[in-house]
Structure 1
């Protein structure tokens, strides 16, 4: 327990000195936990509105124990910047009689947690419900006894283990929790244990005890395979807090005019509506830091003293909310980059005279344009700020600290940084063009040397997409799969956000199959083609099954599968991607995709699903097996325009082997070719429900690879 608290305190963000301001005589510390206002220890030291801001410190414990008054929950960290608090929750446990095979319960302890009426709600983004043990069913209900969510955990034999962790078949399962959750009452139930004598399906590797708990998702992910607890133990849970006041009425718009109730007390603070439940939180304005809940709490950031965050290689002058960086007298150039300032040439007397006359002649003209240029500059700055807020920049900024502490390297770039990295979008740096925009090769400076990246400059985005952009960026930035191109950051100061990805040097799979692009790559051997197909299928299966929430690609094609220096496949270009809709009523207003790969059912219903990606991937697999393009409008016959249609027609006529690439057919053998054709036909079904999942497709391709290897050794 003490070790958990130490780790959490090391990860918590440090508060600036202004955050320590509070009514005189109030404690600021309980053990190693700093307590910033509006929280307080004891009476009259906290914000009086609502419950949950009053804390109690038990100094008789070692170390001292900080709890929420009236609730008893132990607090181990409080963050003003992200409006979060971390508390400890005891894991629920149930143990069973395995010796007799009866499945009789030997002991059960279930620990609920209630937050009703307080300033806290469970964080739906950072906390998950987890169950460990098998075979078991775990779920929890709210304060009314109604089911909220749950999951089932079983154990597959180790020799049949599937990739990934905590999937539900490896002795661990997890599920997301909804917004606005204020109470948690867990239940653990066993199933199938009485089948032990008959060798039941679920009892191959049964455990004596099962556990269920709400937990900080990033903490549990970091624990990973090292998480091996028994007996009684506690885990950290992330709670969102806000100034909630009188329920739904406690919003920025409702309380800003009420000076006595308004919580944002500092002169340089801003109000943000809570993203979880009613209420609002306060942040310091850009260029300021500290505690926005107290008078004078937000103080100016001295950018000149923070050279690592605000580089200046000239004369740095701090200003309220910002700073100025200029070259020294007698020098000129860009003072924000190393060696950017250059000493000016010494003028001769005659040259000075000519320069003075020229300046005098042009002074009037410059004066006339000065007001116009100043106005344009102010408009440009306002436009950048408007685009930044419109694209969800404030929400992303609020979570950058927690992402960094979790090991996620994600950055918000300025428009100037992107222009500099791409040479002001130089045409010579274009890597590719698609329906969603243009991709440039960029070079970003860094402490360890420059880094080559790929920068996606999108053309258009509808208003609905922009509203969800920041939430989708938070999820996409956390995807960590060896066969998915990593999202490194974004630029929000423009009308349509620009995305920064890792650079993949060997170009697209389309170029390796069909040629083009100014290079002559050697064709991929048949065995390598199946490997690339398997890696791409596993990447899509990961996005469908393991990402939370699931992610739909929406434009799967060979041009969007890149190959790195080792010819490892990496799925890219999420320009058409969508988070899986929460309900079937969410239908696209504009169908996006590429001819030859589009799911016919998607065209009819305008509803993108996981099975739409399955259909498009089947066309990519056909490209690998046949060497033909997905869509060829100049084909000799009408049927040749669509590869998918031509293949279905060939299968119906028993001619599917004839259209396969000769080298592929010779090396893989007819048996593998026939099995691959059967898989493609299932994936190309006009009805999405009849198609397999991407996980099933990936498993089938792995079996085809194994069969092909055996044939090659015979």
Structure 2
């Protein structure tokens, strides 16, 4: 018995020594592959990046260390951009060139790097900004404008970029390449020096950033996102998964052929996301209680929570363990050696205690992992909204992650309903047989989290038969999830432009759908608990249910405002072709901005034409401009959809057209409210009768010649290069 007791003491001493070794390993945790430099000057170079042969995962991640300067500088060999910082969490900061125009002392023609076919893209933590008096800066992708901003002139200079001599806007998601072009609002400022740049918003909003100093700079900090992929062939230079063991010297996520699953190295986890049938995105991370580089062998090391003040309190002692910690009473510490010497019975009890602690630690780590995701997914922001009384989500269910995984067959590719820049929507069936749509974000970053929480708060306040109903959300998963009612019959855009034969869009049907949409928007503006501005009304955000009733969807950009507010000042959001010109100029969004977007949808229903199309005349690529010009020239019935003309009710067509023209007035004050629009459509719907004759007896035009010229020029400048099949968004939240 005594010998066994001594053996137990020896076991505890060995275990304690092992724990000490684990703590000591923190000091030598590797970040680069063995034999590779881990720094260049003041910048750490973690794998999958590296300098020298065999030190990086592929050519895209090669870093060239320039030793010609006093402090060596790292550069990406693929893009020639100087690197400022690299994070193993999928980001890196680089120096991005400023694009100058008509500046005599600056090099012109410099553009941001082209990241096409690379594993890099511009992070949405960046902002596109332009400096210049009365200037318009556009982001162009190919022949299409995908974003931009405009500024007004003022003799008073300031250090903020708020639309006066300087403007800024958000960028589209997953952007890899763009070029910058400039326009002038008036001829007086056409030849002035202007410049634009994409920049990390944290640097841009820093109190130490001086706008007036930017003209003397040549580049600004920019955040890029990077991703790794698994492929069956060496496409885009990404690595190929092979049969390996956990002792492999190749530091990356590996494929375990024994269990046919991806695995990561010790103390790390590996998540995969299907991109195509032959390619998956791989994302590694250190497990709970560990930190470091998960892409190298033994790169994730234990965090010593005891050094961070855990177990603080009288009579408690903290003992660090792999991936966690344990708090002991001091009396237990003093008696542990004595208890070990008691004999076999004490040894068994001690072993049971260790097993219990291990199980408890395992449960604790799972709980902490869920708490971590809860915070990352905006849980604290949601709690803040709840405590402020702004949200009302008593009826919104908080789903468990395993419940939604089972409902979507582990988020199978066969369940995908739609996919966009913001994420993927899956069809699922809950345990009670209810069919739902589950929206899963593409990735987690601060911008998308705030949009996700905003969508929960906005939709929780809405109860209308023509608005998609939010059933609940899930915050305990790696990416945030929203659960909606399932709408089976696709989008209004598909029925207008794809001309589906299973549901012909007659004039009567189009009028009914328009009335339903108008009633829903009117409800959002005036009948909800707080006025709600949708800010992205378009036909692709209008779904049709099993009875082909219209339902407004996608509230990612919506905002609820105080009743006494008259407008909301924001960065420009919306979709070209539907965007209110007045809002684009002023960045002040009002309820009348939603009216303008609805007016475009109304014209879309009436004509069957796309909001932006090269097929139209050069001066009318914008549907709004083309429609107004056609009415001015008494050519309305020449552009109306033939399926609408078949009904022969020209009086109703004329009334709808005049209402649409009022909605598209350049002056928001002259547009009707959505309540007035809904009432007018209801009246037309009730009084509409077939007729074989009508004359184009238009109302007196509310546009003078200068206004018509301006809107035509504005539409051509911003949308004239758009693809005939696409409507390019400034910020798109389509599913």
What TM-score bracket applies, with the shorter chain setting the length?
0.3 to 0.5
Q: Which has the higher contact order (CA 8 A, sep 6+)?
A: 2
What is the TM-score with the length of structure 2 in the denominator?
Answer: 0.45
What is the TM-score with the length of structure 1 in the denominator?
Answer: 0.46
